A and B are shown apart, each in its own frame.
Chain A
């Protein structure tokens, strides 16, 4: 579906080139196979804090990373999740060499320029990011409560990527140096260059900038604690939690452990989310929002991650409606779908949505979720940048019976129900809920 060439340098760096000559731009996209799952309790948030430090200059350009690129007309950004950290630039083609020079300099020569002044400044910025995007945002702490309830305390998905504020405060410059030495080396990275470029000259440029960077030691295995290893399947109990927050309307989160990325059943769960809450004709939207007007919104998602997954349903109560009513309708709808499975028309609707999403995803070469990001994702998670065809095939091969099997898994014990209620309205949570611990 996407033409590309993959080449691995002697130092282990995977290089992927994808040509598309319609627009005179080049996309540089660099994945490091490290995320918050590689952190240890007590130092959560370090992978993301480290991402910030990558924009503060390196040995041969010891000032802000943004300035030379914005001057060249680039857009650029980076992001961290539980499994990986990605960095990208989209530049006019004449600035491709500049982008590769800068990316290679911060991979090869970051530490000499990484001072405590930069570290302390970005730690404050990250604490302010946490305040803005989580603490001071309605429902902003819900995901933390869910993750810590779904996964045991020694599971790498027990904490969210932003991390605990006290861990961010406790992080040291030495932690950052050690993190870089452990995870930021060519063998743990995947570089895609896409756009109005020619493959051979790009490979030449990449070799010239990246070949000199020494291969690092193999990355240590992700630490999954004894509890998680002893108990890799979901805890066989349902849990009810509540969180008071500065919100106007109560919201219900229902979450389950689910298949990990690309594993058996993952695509079925993804399709199930579409059938339940994708668009106005979906089962839950139609019932909860359109017909019975119990909810103001409803959504569903299969969180396909590298070492585990979770499935989540979210619905906000309409004024005057209690979460118990939402829960009851959702349970009934899940039971009905488990009973009869989806209709043929319903399944076709879901598959059409998935199909067009693969097409819409092809529209940009760079940035988050652009083609270069997808090639790296497939390379890092499936070992093959060309995995897209097989990714699509997973959905094409699904059946009504498989979707029925997926929804039946939601009836197994291990469900987390989180009620987020307005401050002081504890009685509006599902009965029997205990306070969730978040910080």
Chain B
């Protein structure tokens, strides 16, 4: 029989099994479109992802929401088929279609079973390359998005996100949410959508990524037969935001913003500031720093505010790495009567981790381990792998990036983290956005030392 386990010591995990990111084969179709393929054995599933370096930062100043509206309209019919005919075709092969519009990029992804790979990729090419943009469809989808904007006014977290970005990036291409505002959406026309598609959805800077239970050759053959005859041209200058414009974020428009949500039982919080671009040489040190500060369950802020105080279901922090400096933010929803204490705790923890209370050796080891040892499970599905490859493309990272990630993180030491915190976390300049019950909060807010709150409607 089996012996009893020793409960006086927890077992120490042995050597982490070696793991490598799958081989990404890079090539071009006959028309010049960049192609990246990955063989991903397993369930008979294939994902095609077309990714382009144009996103909501390319929205014209008075047309916020244009990039996302255009992406939303891609599957509302093509030159060849109406919206319902197109969706009937997608449904016949059980395809899942998704569009993602970020600040810097747009991706359109189609997943299907491998026996329908050719039809799936063909539909993706049709959706991206030949959208219909009938005036009636544009009006319908625009109205749906306006309704969505209206609904989001009642969602604390969405209100906080919108106000936080607007406060951090006044007048800057990163200062709005992709969905836009009711006013901006109301003004958008079918002609603008058609023009944006013509200017932005050009394939010279795009990459087609194919990942699935097929060989490189099979994926490449499907890609050639579906995307190989499309014209490959550069996007128009209007659709590309000049790097100098992106790099020129000015000061925030306020330090403390209060959005009244009468009688709300919790306050939704965003605390942070403009931080760093993805290209920062401190990237790995910042990843370690964030894990310690608020990036996982066992982090200083979550332990304090949830596990010690019970003020919240959970809080987290993160650097939003973009092509140009993006936000660092703490976010969470906390019980209303603990609002001020929670903001103070966040500002305090942001300050001390780069100074009086640097990460300990134990915290450092925990954070490095969490980042490196869980690496393999992030690339289990074809969709995850395709997303990982897209990230390499968008940020122009070397093919070896994922294989050097583990040693890079393991090389980070306490001094690196402290220096990165001192350089990139600026508690003294942080902005706090609070969406909560103003009549309960107003009298306590001066304790934050952030001046009079700017009151904003949701």
Which residues in A have some Cβ–Cβ distance to B below 8 Å? Answer: 22-25, 59-61, 64, 66-68, 70-75, 90-95, 97-98, 101-102, 104-105, 109, 120-125, 127-129, 131-133, 135-138, 196, 204, 207-209, 211-212, 246-249, 279-281, 286, 289-290, 293, 296, 316, 318-319, 349, 352-353, 355-356, 359-360, 362-366
* A290→B139 CA distance, assembly (Å): 11
Q: Is the beta-carbon distance between B376 and A92 smaller than 8 angstroms?
A: yes
**Given known A-B contacts A353-B91, A359-B45, A64 and B307 have beta carbons under 8 A apart:** yes
**Given known A-B contacts A22-B42, A72-B369, A247 and B151 have beta carbons under 8 A apart:** yes
- The count of A-to-B residue pairs whose CB atoms sit within 8 angstroms is 210
Q: Is the beta-carbon distance between B143 and A71 smaller than 8 angstroms?
A: no
By a CB distance below 8 angstroms, the chain A residues around B369 are 70-73
Additional A-B contact list (11), CB under 8 Å, known A92-B17, A102-B10, A281-B88: A72-B373, A73-B373, A95-B13, A109-B7, A125-B310, A131-B266, A196-B17, A211-B2, A249-B147, A279-B87, A349-B88
Q: Is the beta-carbon distance between A66 and B310 smaller than 8 angstroms?
A: no
Binds A, one of B279-287, B377-385, B448-456: B377-385
Q: Is the beta-carbon distance between A67 and B298 smaller than 8 angstroms?
A: yes
A286 to chain B, nearest CB (A): 7
By a CB distance below 8 angstroms, the chain A residues around B373 are 72-74, 92, 95
By a CB distance below 8 angstroms, the chain A residues around B306 are 125
Q: Is the beta-carbon distance between A212 and B376 smaller than 8 angstroms?
A: no
- Could you show 10 A-B contacts with beta carbons less than 8 Å apart? A25-B376, A92-B17, A97-B13, A109-B7, A208-B5, A248-B153, A281-B84, A352-B91, A356-B112, A360-B111
Chain A residue nearest to B333 (CB atoms) is: A132
A374 to chain B, nearest CB (A): 13
A168 to chain B, nearest CB (A): 12
By a CB distance below 8 angstroms, the chain A residues around B266 are 128, 131-132, 136
* 9 interchain residue pairs of minimum CB distance: A73-B373, A124-B310, A356-B94, A73-B374, A24-B17, A129-B313, A95-B13, A362-B43, A60-B7
Chain A residue nearest to B93 (CB atoms) is: A352
Q: Which of A24, A125, A293 contacts B313 (CB 8 A)?
A: A125
Q: Which of A98, A286, A296, A355 contacts B13 (CB 8 A)?
A: A98
Q: Which of B2, B379, B383 contacts A204 (CB 8 A)?
A: B2
Q: Is the beta-carbon distance between B380 and A365 smaller than 8 angstroms?
A: yes
* A122→B309 CA distance, assembly (Å): 9
* A25→B17 CA distance, assembly (Å): 9
Count of residues in B whose CB is under 8 Å from the partner chain: 79
Q: Which of B44, B96, B150 contacts A248 (CB 8 A)?
A: B150
A222 to chain B, nearest CB (A): 28
Q: Is the beta-carbon distance between B310 and A128 smaller than 8 angstroms?
A: yes
Q: Is the beta-carbon distance between A248 and B13 smaller than 8 angstroms?
A: no
B225 to chain A, nearest CB (A): 22
Q: Is the beta-carbon distance between B381 and A363 smaller than 8 angstroms?
A: yes
**Given known A-B contacts A104-B5, A128-B312, A363-B382, A75 and B374 have beta carbons under 8 A apart:** yes
* A61→B5 CA distance, assembly (Å): 14
By a CB distance below 8 angstroms, the chain A residues around B380 are 23, 25, 363-365
Q: Is the beta-carbon distance between A248 and B151 smaller than 8 angstroms?
A: yes
Q: Is the beta-carbon distance between B147 and A318 smaller than 8 angstroms?
A: yes
* A22→B313 CA distance, assembly (Å): 35
By a CB distance below 8 angstroms, the chain B residues around A93 are 17
**Given known A-B contacts A122-B310, A356-B94, A360-B45, A68 and B10 have beta carbons under 8 A apart:** yes
Q: Is the beta-carbon distance between A136 and B333 smaller than 8 angstroms?
A: yes
By a CB distance below 8 angstroms, the chain A residues around B2 are 204, 207-208, 211
Q: Which of A60, A249, A364 contacts B150 (CB 8 A)?
A: A249
By a CB distance below 8 angstroms, the chain B residues around A131 are 265-266, 333, 335
Binary interface profile of B, 81-105, with partner A (CB < 8 Å = 1, else 0)? 0011001101111101000000000
Q: Is the beta-carbon distance between A94 and B43 smaller than 8 angstroms?
A: no
Chain A CB within 8 A of B243 CB: no
Chain A CB within 8 A of B321 CB: no
Chain A residue nearest to B313 (CB atoms) is: A129
* A375→B303 CA distance, assembly (Å): 33
By a CB distance below 8 angstroms, the chain A residues around B90 are 279
By a CB distance below 8 angstroms, the chain B residues around A246 are 154, 261
By a CB distance below 8 angstroms, the chain B residues around A71 are 365-366, 369-370
Chain B residue nearest to A109 (CB atoms) is: B7
**Given known A-B contacts A70-B296, A363-B42, A248 and B265 have beta carbons under 8 A apart:** no
